[in-house]
Amino acid sequence: MQSARAFGLALSAIALSAGTVWAASGGAHIERHHWSFTGLGGQYDKAQLQRGFKVYQESCSACHGLSRLSFRNLFEAGGPEFDEAAVKSLATEWPNQIVDGPNDDGEMFERPPLASDPIRGPFANEKAARAANNGALPPDLSLIIKARTVENHSSWPLHVVQMGKDVLSGYQEAGADYVYALLNSYKGSEPDTNGMYVNAAFPGGKIAMTPPLTVDNTVAYLEDGQSAPEGMTVPPSTVAQNAEDVTAFLAWASDPSLNTRKQIGWQVMIYLLITTVLLYLGKKQIWARLKH
């Protein structure tokens, strides 16, 4: 019994010390945001994805590409579902040309993108990107939501409990929570003497990326004099709203099949439940003929 008490006290001490270490290890607390695609039954909001693409196009595409996403994905089901003709027109007007070829003379040439082409960034290669950004490399945003996460700074017993809750609730939005917090956590719009910007959500507190969204530089969802489509409510153009919409769009870019996957998942679960009940009733009927 004394050994058991000692072991329990040791575990308690480790848990308390672990909580202190995690809290002191740096990094801001990231609040969980409510997303339309949260949980086991969440789905993307088409209107939000359309707004998010507009924010990406006007505030992010000057530095970041979406090379794993094609223009045609923008009009496919489960995404923004833009008009197909409008997307094809957008592709031809996209400022970043596609290097293709060789032609009949054996030479490479540039052409406007097609709907089947990826949404490339503005830089030809990594060195060109670094040269234009003071040595920093703007990442491709295709999988940025899957590539980022948040840290759990609680003690390990609470960490285990939270992991269990996340599994039961289907929590997979850590990357979205981080990106949303990052876009909302800039402190001022001027860099320091080293060209770095203060950002409370970024590890270390300083980031090379210029604030993409500021109070004076929000993306308007409606042009001057333009009214919202019938039956659709357009939210105000604020930094928080722009950040939420572009984060949702990037979440879709990282996982464009989420809507279909969750729908099929529920269908499979219902099918398995019905199959289980039928198998149980069949087994009960067959074995009821035998004496025990």
Q: What is the 3-state secondary structure (H, E, C) of the chain?
A: CHHHHHHHHHHHHHHHHHHHHHHHCCCCCCCCCCCCCCCCCCCCCHHHHHHHHHHHHHHHCCCCCEEEEEHHHHHCCCCCCCCHHHHHHHHHHCCCCEEECCCCCCCCEEECCCCCCEECCCCCCHHHHHHHCCCCCCCCCCCHHHHCCCCCCCCHHHHHHHHHHHHHHCCCCHHHHHHHHHHCCECCCCCCCCCCEEECCCCCCEECCCCCCCCCCCCCCCCCCCCCCCCCCCCCCCHHHHHHHHHHHHHHHHCCCHHHHHHHHHHHHHHHHHHHHHHHHHHHHHHCCCCC
- pLDDT of res. 96: 83
Q: Are residues 140 and 172 in the same domain?
A: yes
Q: Are residues 30 and 171 in the same domain?
A: yes
- pLDDT of res. 5: 57
Asked if the structure places residue 70 within a domain, the reply is: no
Q: Are residues 174 and 269 in the same domain?
A: no
Radius of gyration (C-alpha) of the chain in whole angstroms: 25
Asked if the structure places residue 15 within a domain, the reply is: no
Asked if the structure places residue 241 within a domain, the reply is: yes
- Examine the fold and report which residue of 118, 151, 184 is the final residue of a domain before the chain moves on: 118
Per the structure, the complete domain to which residue 224 belongs is given by: 22-65+121-256
Q: Are residues 134 and 31 in the same domain?
A: yes
Q: Are residues 196 and 61 in the same domain?
A: yes
Asked if the structure places residue 177 within a domain, the reply is: yes
Q: Are residues 125 and 165 in the same domain?
A: yes
- pLDDT of res. 134: 86
Q: Are residues 128 and 231 in the same domain?
A: yes
Q: Are residues 200 and 248 in the same domain?
A: yes
Quote the pTM value: 0.84
Q: Are residues 52 and 158 in the same domain?
A: yes
- pLDDT of res. 292: 64
Asked if the structure places residue 208 within a domain, the reply is: yes
- pLDDT of res. 241: 96
Q: Are residues 149 and 288 in the same domain?
A: no
Q: Are residues 129 and 182 in the same domain?
A: yes
Please tell me the total count of domains within the chain. 3
Asked if the structure places residue 2 within a domain, the reply is: no
Q: Are residues 141 and 166 in the same domain?
A: yes
- Examine the fold and report which residue of 55, 87, 118 is the final residue of a domain before the chain moves on: 118
Asked if the structure places residue 203 within a domain, the reply is: yes
Print pLDDT tens along the chain (292 aa).
555 455 454 444 444 443 333 322 346 788 999 999 998 889 999 999 999 999 999 999 999 999 999 999 999 999 999 999 999 999 999 988 888 888 888 999 988 999 999 999 999 889 999 999 988 999 999 999 999 998 887 888 888 898 899 888 889 999 999 999 999 999 988 889 888 999 999 988 999 999 999 998 899 998 866 777 777 788 999 999 999 999 999 999 999 999 999 999 999 999 999 999 999 999 988 888 777 6
Asked if the structure places residue 275 within a domain, the reply is: yes
- pLDDT of res. 88: 95
- Whose CA is closest to 65, among 123, 17, 7? 123
CATH (domain of 230): 1.10.760.10
